[in-house]
Structure 1
Amino acid sequence: MNLRRLGSIVLKELRQLRRDRLTFAMIIGIPTLQLVLFGYAINMDVRHLDAAVLDQANSARSREVIAELGASQVLNLRYQLSSPEELNTLLRQGKISAALVVPSDFETRLERNERSVLQIVVDGSDQVVQASARQLAGFPLPGSDRNRSGRIEVLNLYNPQRLAPVNTVPGLIGVILTMTMVLFTATALVREREHGNLEMLIATPVSPWELTLGKLLPFAAIGLVQVSVVLLLGKLLFAVPLRGSLSELYLASLVFICASLALGVFISTLARSQFQAMQMAFFTFLPQILLSGFMFPFAGMPKAAQWLAELLPLTHFLRLVRGIMLRGAGLAELWPALAALLLFTLLMLGVAVTRVHKRLD
């Protein structure tokens, strides 16, 4: 062991690292991103869940209870409903996460000190919403025995048994597609450039759009196979339901696959090596997995973090896949999330193709 030779190698690697600006940026950027996300954006205490009120009693006491529950900041009472049908529609469309139902005999139940006085109907497709609603189960009601628990009944729709896989498996479809599609596309295109194959294709009379789409279509087929595998295993191993249309689920998955592939193509136009492509792909994984609502409550994040999450494709796909699989919603009801994915795909592909075209000059 020659320390001088060893030191020369170490010095050479440090100089190489200094020239590789992307790697150097990742050394600083990844821990910074994790610190900001975990310290600032991610909050396990859920607040301001979008909710609705169905006040069938419409009395002074019921309005007092509704005001106090709204002041708890757990529920953001955005809608005043007049019928249970409106409640079911808003929940199925994903516009609300919970609904406070005040029965018509609220005053009588309160006077008799019955166990169930109010009801909170929650979207059971999201476990975080379930946990937040249970916090309100012991909420003290005015004019009643404040030491008595269970005054508010929590009704879980779509997942009454509160089974974790029912919530996790649909989200895993998006997470798996995010990791594989972005990484496969980015590294594959960069690998072809390193091996000289891309230059050979560019020399042929193929337009940038034809070249890009021709590279993406095989990966899109692979993504649909992955969706089928997760759906099959989720059904066989965990009895995860599919309450909506299978064809609409595949269509939503295909749009998300295209969005992920477009992101991978864009990364490939920035990276100079496969290692850089892997680094940049990993850099996009963290915000998507942490901010999309898959692991941590979306409603508990600050507004700035929520705005950032709205720019990420996984956020919108989770709304689609949970809405179709667990709530039985259709694409016509979930069109904002589908439109956001289509817009993201077109923007990413447009920018990527423009950069490929510049390489043809």
Structure 2
Amino acid sequence: MRALFHGLVPVCRKEFLHIIRDPGTLFFALLIPMLQLFLFGFAVDTNIRQVSTVVLDESHTQESRRLLESFAGSDVFNLKIYAGSQDEMYEAIRAGKARVGIRIPYDYARRLQDGTTATVLVLVDGSDSSVAGQAMSTSTGVALKESLVRVMPNGTMPIEVRPSVLYNPATRSANFFVPGLIAILLQVMAILMIALSLVRERERGTLEQLTMTPVAPLGLMVGKMIPYGALTFSEMCAILFVMRVIFQVPIHGSVLLLLALSIPFLLTVLGIGLIISTRAHTQAEAFQLSMGTILPSVFLSGYIFLIENMPLFFQGISRLIPATYYIQILRGIILRGAGISELWIPATVLTMMGCTSTLLAARLFVKQSGH
């Protein structure tokens, strides 16, 4: 029996030493599960609360203010924008500044006093099906609660809420998930390809030979990025075609604008892939680091869960994730038909991120190569 386990202790000791001396293994073995725990425990919140809401109060009476207080007291609506016209209300929803719009008509108070039904319009951004469903049900509940206080003798409810779903009237889940999925797929593809490619060249020794040639570090980085960027761009066009033809997701905005604003995102994720390649020593380590960028992009970018529902710490992290801004661009153009006037902020942020990641990758490469 003893002979069966001969050498067990030395082998165990050797493996423990390998694990201790390999910080990459320790990181992924110990910290990644803890990171997942914090993400699922704090950042992932399926409850819909404090949805950004634009208000158009044409009545400006005590009755309309009481109704708005009831909407705010439900904890679902965050009345953060007050519009002066219908155009301003629709513009706020199309630009993504608000997900819900509440319009109280000018004759709201008079109708309540006359004993007739007052109609309140609730516009819901259907590009997020979970928000749309919660907003419609809660708005109906608020109207019912207010109506019970003022119920008419004939049993007619004095307040009627008419919800209207914009951009995704059928609340199809494909219209919500597929545009956001494009960002995740392109990120995984771009980062993995360029990171593994450079590490593979380093393992073979061809990268060191390239550094001996009169090539500037920035020129080397950009030269590496262009072919993979073109390949990822082609894949994006194919994904858009499948989205439109197979999944029947309409593109309400400009396709050319979508393609143009995709370039800063591709530049950013390719730069991140280059940074990973400067830190990874093996292809396995490059793969692990690349896959480590997926969890934050899925859970903290607003792809599935509302950023507004997250704790402030995770909201701050979400502002550092490129997919956060690209998903805003994708859903804005594809679902809401937004233009550059509504999307210039995420486009500018992505452009700055792309330039920063490329310059940082070039600097880290120079530092690593000792030039």
Q: TM-score range by the shorter chain?
A: over 0.9
Deviation >6 Å, runs of 4+: 146-150
Q: 1:195 and 1:130, CA in 2 relative to 1: closer, same or farther beyond 3 A?
A: same
Residue number in structure 1 paired with 2:203:
194
Partner Cα separation in structure 1 for residue 115 and residue 164 of structure 2:
22
The TM-score with structure 2 as length reference comes to 0.91
Residue number in structure 1 paired with 2:146:
141
- 8 Å contact from structure 1 (residues 185, 216) kept in 2: yes
User: Could you give the per-residue CA deviations for residues 136-194 of structure 1, whole angstroms, max 9, x where no partner exists?
Assistant: 12222263349979942221110011111111111111010111111111111111111
**Bigger CA radius of gyration:** 2
Partner Cα separation in structure 2 for residue 188 and residue 150 of structure 1:
63
Residue number in structure 2 paired with 1:295:
304
- 8 Å contact from structure 1 (residues 245, 328) kept in 2: yes
Residue number in structure 2 paired with 1:153:
162
Amino acid corresponding to residue 74 of structure 1 in structure 2:
V
Partner Cα separation in structure 1 for residue 180 and residue 194 of structure 2:
21
Partner Cα separation in structure 1 for residue 270 and residue 20 of structure 2:
30
Alignment: residue pair count: 360
Residue number in structure 1 paired with 2:40:
38
Q: Secondary structure at the match of 1:45?
A: coil
Q: Secondary structure at the match of 2:215?
A: coil
Amino acid corresponding to residue 346 of structure 2 in structure 1:
A
- 8 Å contact from structure 1 (residues 128, 297) kept in 2: no
Residue number in structure 1 paired with 2:60:
58
Instruction: Compute the displacement of 1:70 (Å).
Output: 1.3
Partner Cα separation in structure 2 for residue 149 and residue 311 of structure 1:
48
Partner Cα separation in structure 1 for residue 115 and residue 14 of structure 2:
81
* Identity over aligned pairs, percent: 33
Amino acid corresponding to residue 133 of structure 1 in structure 2:
A
Residue number in structure 2 paired with 1:335:
344
The TM-score with structure 1 as length reference comes to 0.94
Pairwise CA RMSD: 2.1
- 8 Å contact from structure 1 (residues 57, 102) kept in 2: yes
Partner Cα separation in structure 1 for residue 191 and residue 291 of structure 2:
9
Instruction: Compute the displacement of 1:4 (Å).
Output: 2.4
Residue number in structure 1 paired with 2:87:
85
Give 1:1-361 correspondences, 5 Å limit. Answer: 2-5=4-7, 8-107=10-109, 110=112, 112=115, 114=117, 117-136=119-138, 137-139=140-142, 140-141=145-146, 143-145=149-151, 151-358=160-367, 359-361=369-371
Partner Cα separation in structure 1 for residue 185 and residue 120 of structure 2:
40
User: Could you give the per-residue CA deviations for residues 310-351 of structure 1, whole angstroms, max 9, x where no partner exists?
Assistant: 110000001001101111111232111011111111221121
Partner Cα separation in structure 2 for residue 294 and residue 35 of structure 1:
19
Q: Secondary structure at the match of 1:67?
A: helix
Q: Which runs of 5+ in 1 are unaligned?
A: none
Amino acid corresponding to residue 138 of structure 1 in structure 2:
G
Instruction: Compute the displacement of 1:10 (Å).
Output: 4.4
Instruction: Compute the displacement of 1:285 (Å).
Output: 1.1
Partner Cα separation in structure 2 for residue 151 and residue 270 of structure 1:
60
Instruction: Compute the displacement of 1:9 (Å).
Output: 4.2
Q: Secondary structure at the match of 2:342?
A: coil
- 8 Å contact from structure 1 (residues 181, 223) kept in 2: yes
Partner Cα separation in structure 2 for residue 355 and residue 77 of structure 1:
46
Between stretches 342-351 and 27-36, larger displacement belongs to 342-351
Partner Cα separation in structure 2 for residue 109 and residue 43 of structure 1:
40
Partner Cα separation in structure 2 for residue 145 and residue 275 of structure 1:
68
Partner Cα separation in structure 2 for residue 109 and residue 278 of structure 1:
65
